[in-house]
Structure 1
């Protein structure tokens, strides 16, 4: 029979034990919600917000429909009251401690119980614990939470400020609210260039009353560290909330899956935080936690119990999951030339890891609607295309336990911004105190998760600071991030690196007094890259950074997704409602300008069909642009230019998910329908990457392979009018490292030898190790489609067979009579994903699989299907 390790910490809390477990009275559920100005009294669910309560009572319609974000602006600008009755028993009143625990109050509120003020809230990201015993009585009680409009308070705080703290308001196209940087609330709730403005109010996380005689566990953190002798030591902090009684007992800790037992006694000083180490015996086998694609995600359950000395009674207990993994951020000289800068990459379990990743934004404007199912589908969609890392963006929220737990399970490493983004912030005593409490709470809450790899003080605020002149702004910046936030993070969690901003220059930023003159340097740290006027299919416009933590270009969501929230009259590309949905200044025009560099725009005279066709070609541009950039970064992993640029070790594209239906930089839209980019991610993040490109007059083929250092690359040259290659090559390769250039030759010579007289007529298709069941594939057109499209015959593509494998999996067979680029299959009304999409079809028959998130019958699935390729829209 297997045993567990057991660590017991002996401590005294000035007490004698009366001894029963803590109990909880759940206050979630139905509350009355009151608005005096409108005369509303409705019922709503907690956790929840005013908006979802109004939706549930049919007082308002879908906030995402058309321009309802503007029509419902009054909701966020008014004050709302939550109130309910609840029963308190004599047992509750007999306890030494009775506290109200509010895990999330959004944002400014006054809390009263039976008319007695018990506390106030001012920070959406804090947990509030209030003593309520003196306000309670046996029998029926009332709790009332009066929320104040965050919009109005933000404006008041701005008016009270001795100086302007920019930026004051979002761009007018965002239809947003002003002065969000003055308050500690989800920054994008006042709008963003991809988000609507819905300044929520309400009880957005759990609320309860806890009653106890001894203590309750308020939190538990446990971080395994590999010490200098290569032994695992679990650093544990138990956060207790103790009653006024004198208490004594043992803290007993157990760890599952281990066939050893260990007891360790420590005396502890009298604090509500108990610190102790769990030393793993040397030589004990530990299954490590690995990022997705590098190994398994081993997790261990760690349980802590507060027990009496005789161990007969448990007074409080909690558990958490931990993962054993070592972590190092390597920033060392890349060469003997000091001007070449330093590296920026992570080692997990002493293995250098390339971050194949993306960025995460809140999955809904109304956070209570972000279910575990929604999170699972988004995050599993990420790992299905080989993503191993994400940046939790600093304008959103510290996510739910379900989010971090899923990232632990799926091996998604998290670059975690703290919740400050694209703004300067105050440095008043009150603001800093609130921030300090927030960071203290959130780092304690989250640091146990092995998925979190790095803390970043903010998103892009070093860059924002450089746009404004003034010593006061610099002082505020340093006071907030370096004097207030950094000491809390590094004290509470020395196991992870902290960077002051993203982007930043790592140690070089510190040398410059924590304010980098150019935080976008290719020679240090991470960069963000955007260029709305460049040809993004041209690698010459791209940087060669150490780590690209944010970059992207915009596209529309899938037509089916946007169609649901517009009226029939709105369904044209430049209709007032389409333009209303576009929060990026000039975004609709930018997307067309970038797309038409490469693809002829569709010519339908039907506005609705034209809109759908434009979405299709814009998504093609989006997918190929991100393919171009990410393959470029991956090619530079093991290369260094003569000027010191290179050794790129991360590519986190902006962004994975959407907060609503509309144009954005995402690869998955709000309905969890994959855009073309997400299908392309399966190829450009493939562990076995074939990356062909033309560098001046030379065709080069780069390969990254984790399977073997040697193998065979198959190259086929096709014309657009023939489904048989005009010439084929087999290239044996032997890599000294895991990646490198395995083929290069003058392109004109290759084409001439193959009999291709005009490169516009030809394209290459590549496969690795086998043509029948290749390890990886890729294809390369030799000109832009603006020049090619007139040379491609129209194809007759059909879905000739659909077979049902299970209620959530189907096998499709496609046929074509000609080569077809950018084949796009849709399953209208069915939520799921194909094994490939947006591909080139070069063979007469092709089989694909489709996996739906929910069960669906064969007839319904067949009816949902449609297919097209590029030439079908002209």
Structure 2
């Protein structure tokens, strides 16, 4: 028998259907899409620049063809099986090999495979040609045939098309309808092949691992053996199976590991990975080998009723350890996914880890991501909340649609089930809200059966070690239930547009979406708006690069309500929006993390901000812009998600006739009575060990910078993996603008964490006579101040990544910023 051979096809050509001439795709590309190829050939302008998006809408309405040539070696003809494997075609396509139609596709999330042995010319050039139909045109035909289904974002025909839904335009991204061979196409020849591997891990109470290595073997029977080696994270062989007799179809090998190194999210341990090496051997010759990196872990979704509050918990327990989920939502990082590199994925996910985040939610309007995404999450120790690819719509339920969806889900569950970072599969994004919006019943809400019956059955069958949740948000009885399940809290920005200082009243058991807009970096605007005359806050081009509905009013409202504008130029506007966004999101993380109160009282267990990234250069809710330039909000979230955190919350009560009236709302207009302010102060310990600390609090007059007093030092024990209350309703002086600065010190006097609480809104504060001294040396910038300063931003000429920015400085501590 000969060894398996594999050839990935590359160097494509394309043309508009009906044209005579073929154009070259991007040189050397194994995967591609129509817009990048048209840009490469100078046939369309870059839709990310200016308002060029409008000029390229015709592309999505046309049919396109791609072709590629490949020459298998003559010796490969001796092998028995010859297949073309399509890992992703976008979306409706007919595929021809040497003029013969071999498959048709209608779902970009399904892998297709074609036996092509009788069509291949060995030792000669073969031509693969793919005819891509316009997904918009096809979708409209399906809508006409099967009926209208409502949605938000994009046109309604998208509900019939199994394509990344954000291609139809979203409230943060452009309308760019792609097509093309967006995932690799491989020509594979073999006699025997390891087609699938599933390392099914069970962690026992004794922390031993019982492992069932399940393999699917394709090809023709032979006197073959399957060898398995298991290498520890340090590279030592810890288990092996040297000569198991192999059979065509399903094989199972039982292995046991004593006291294995378990995989943890990086905030709670080491993301340890084992190598599972599988090899088919015939007569001493290696026929095919596969290596899978696998983390050994258990993950549970804990939903237990509370004894003292309504509803139930909603948190993740990894290897028996409860985990508070600090994280972000992930949208596709580019409108054209084939333009992303492995380095892009690594940089994005490392940005999250460096920001103290431990969970990323793959949102349901994009893709099942590339393998590199999950590989990096495994390596870095990032938990993955994974939506199925349904978002903000009422999807149909006719037979052909459901059959296609089932193939899609089975395909992706089997592809992804060895990735230990996946902690949850979720049926959809906001489809329950959509059903409510369009007043659907159980009979007309076709997705209900899919999300509550079909999907959990498939997850249980193909990925049994991963919990399932029917939708996001979803609480069991209602998506609006704040006492159970997860919620999307959009009453800041959307909805009732509450003050962000009131996040403590807007929480839930797990907040899987919330956010605030902020502008991108000035450099990002300069790179996407080519004419300087349009680079001012209210310009047409600035507005075009913000897709949110009525963003002008909402962004201006939150800025003017909270932040002092020092100029009307674009740079000043960017700083104001970013500072406001940073303060807003910090309040949310701070308030909700306080409610992680220990066993039986984990009232709030996660905060996933909308969103970490963008798919094009724009203003949006992202905390780092399209160019991976962190906004100030990235850093404020990083501080609030640190292992040790100082928490503050300030409340105010209007006095009536010189006495405090707890029933009076101090926001009543024209109530000029004195406001009495109180501070709650707590600490959060995100580690798994108790920490002894000394807590110091200094109070400063904001305007003069004078230190008014220091509170009595508190010796505290910050309990492991929870919050610890320190002060409750500490009364502040009434008429003085006071900033409180608190610091945890360890027993040796080193700073564990520091934080501050400023009077609100910030726009009323004055900072005269401030002096900031800086010392720049290799790898760091040290700042010191004579008086408290709020929201200091460091801007560098080049893209230098800092470990902190947008920070406060106090005389007692100063600040040292490291260049990353």
Give the TM-score normalised by structure 2: 0.90
> Is the CA contact 1:768–1:776 (under 8 Å) kept in the aligned structure 2?
yes
Determine whether 1:779 maps to 2:756.
yes
Displacement of 1:61 = 2.9
Partner of 2:312: 342
Q: What SS class does the counterpart of residue 73 from structure 1 fall into?
A: helix
Partner of 2:5: 23
Determine whether 1:838 maps to 2:806.
yes
Partner of 1:703: 683
| Higher mean C-alpha displacement, 52-61 vs 715-724 | 715-724
| Distance (Å, rounded) in 2 between the aligned partners of 1:62 and 1:151 | 21
| Distance (Å, rounded) in 1 between the aligned partners of 2:598 and 2:551 | 35
| Higher mean C-alpha displacement, 668-677 vs 251-260 | 251-260
| Distance (Å, rounded) in 2 between the aligned partners of 1:118 and 1:82 | 15
Q: What SS class does the counterpart of residue 643 from structure 2 fall into?
A: coil
| Higher mean C-alpha displacement, 466-475 vs 409-418 | 466-475
Of residues 147, 153, 161, the one that matches 1:183 is 161
> Is the CA contact 1:542–1:629 (under 8 Å) kept in the aligned structure 2?
no
Partner of 1:872: none
| Distance (Å, rounded) in 2 between the aligned partners of 1:844 and 1:331 | 44
- Structure 1: gaps of 5 or more residues: 1-18, 171-175, 510-515, 752-756, 805-809, 853-874
Partner of 2:609: 653
Of residues 398, 415, 421, the one that matches 2:391 is 421
Pairing 1:581-620 to 2, within 5 Å after superposition: 581-604=545-568, 609=569, 611-620=570-579
| Distance (Å, rounded) in 1 between the aligned partners of 2:749 and 2:446 | 61
> Is the CA contact 1:291–1:413 (under 8 Å) kept in the aligned structure 2?
yes
Partner of 1:822: 791
Partner of 2:664: none
Aligned pair in 2 of structure 1 residues 184, 273: CA closer, same or farther (>3 Å)? farther
Partner of 1:671: 627
Of residues 321, 346, 353, the one that matches 2:293 is 321
Displacement of 1:481 = 2.3
RMSD (Å) for aligned C-alpha atoms: 2.5
| Distance (Å, rounded) in 2 between the aligned partners of 1:188 and 1:40 | 31
Determine whether 1:93 maps to 2:80.
no
Partner of 1:529: 489
| Distance (Å, rounded) in 2 between the aligned partners of 1:470 and 1:356 | 34
Partner of 2:648: 692
Aligned pair in 2 of structure 1 residues 613, 60: CA closer, same or farther (>3 Å)? same
> Is the CA contact 2:172–2:546 (under 8 Å) kept in the aligned structure 1?
yes
| Distance (Å, rounded) in 2 between the aligned partners of 1:848 and 1:229 | 45
Partner of 1:305: 279
Determine whether 1:559 maps to 2:539.
no
Of residues 570, 581, 584, the one that matches 1:625 is 584
| Distance (Å, rounded) in 2 between the aligned partners of 1:430 and 1:200 | 23
Aligned pair in 2 of structure 1 residues 256, 375: CA closer, same or farther (>3 Å)? same
> Is the CA contact 1:823–1:839 (under 8 Å) kept in the aligned structure 2?
yes
Partner of 2:199: 222
Partner of 2:534: 570
Of residues 382, 387, 395, the one that matches 1:412 is 382
| Distance (Å, rounded) in 2 between the aligned partners of 1:453 and 1:407 | 11
> Is the CA contact 1:358–1:390 (under 8 Å) kept in the aligned structure 2?
yes
> Is the CA contact 1:723–1:842 (under 8 Å) kept in the aligned structure 2?
no
Partner of 1:12: none
| Distance (Å, rounded) in 1 between the aligned partners of 2:128 and 2:134 | 20
Partner of 1:254: 229
Of residues 354, 361, 367, the one that matches 1:384 is 354
Displacement of 1:565 = 0.6
Aligned pair in 2 of structure 1 residues 540, 262: CA closer, same or farther (>3 Å)? closer
| Distance (Å, rounded) in 1 between the aligned partners of 2:761 and 2:177 | 44
Determine whether 1:332 maps to 2:304.
yes
> Is the CA contact 1:544–1:645 (under 8 Å) kept in the aligned structure 2?
no
Aligned pair in 2 of structure 1 residues 158, 141: CA closer, same or farther (>3 Å)? same
Alignment deviations for residues 308-357 of structure 1 (CA, whole Å, 9 cap, x no partner)? 3x5x12222211011111222222221178xx222211111111111111
Q: What SS class does the counterpart of residue 169 from structure 2 fall into?
A: strand
Displacement of 1:75 = 1.2
Q: What SS class does the counterpart of residue 711 from structure 2 fall into?
A: strand
Partner of 1:76: 60
Displacement of 1:818 = 5.0
Partner of 2:342: 372
Q: What SS class does the counterpart of residue 776 from structure 1 fall into?
A: strand
| Distance (Å, rounded) in 1 between the aligned partners of 2:741 and 2:179 | 54
Q: What SS class does the counterpart of residue 834 from structure 1 fall into?
A: coil
Q: What SS class does the counterpart of residue 210 from structure 1 fall into?
A: strand
| Distance (Å, rounded) in 1 between the aligned partners of 2:411 and 2:780 | 49
Of residues 101, 113, 130, the one that matches 1:117 is 101
Of residues 335, 358, 367, the one that matches 1:397 is 367
Aligned pair in 2 of structure 1 residues 227, 714: CA closer, same or farther (>3 Å)? closer
Aligned pair in 2 of structure 1 residues 378, 487: CA closer, same or farther (>3 Å)? same
| Distance (Å, rounded) in 1 between the aligned partners of 2:45 and 2:450 | 41
Aligned pair in 2 of structure 1 residues 137, 333: CA closer, same or farther (>3 Å)? same
Partner of 1:434: 404
> Is the CA contact 1:702–1:743 (under 8 Å) kept in the aligned structure 2?
yes
> Is the CA contact 1:722–1:819 (under 8 Å) kept in the aligned structure 2?
no
Give the TM-score normalised by structure 1: 0.85
Displacement of 1:850 = 4.2
Alignment deviations for residues 816-855 of structure 1 (CA, whole Å, 9 cap, x no partner)? 5654321111123x23322221112333995534435xxx
Displacement of 1:503 = 1.3
Paired residue total: 780
Of residues 76, 88, 109, the one that matches 1:104 is 88
| Distance (Å, rounded) in 2 between the aligned partners of 1:717 and 1:405 | 47
Displacement of 1:177 = 4.9
- Structure 2: gaps of 5 or more residues: 653-676
| Distance (Å, rounded) in 2 between the aligned partners of 1:563 and 1:206 | 35
Displacement of 1:361 = 1.0
Displacement of 1:49 = 0.7
Of residues 196, 205, 208, the one that matches 2:186 is 208
| Distance (Å, rounded) in 2 between the aligned partners of 1:235 and 1:475 | 39
Displacement of 1:811 = 2.0
> Is the CA contact 2:696–2:743 (under 8 Å) kept in the aligned structure 1?
yes
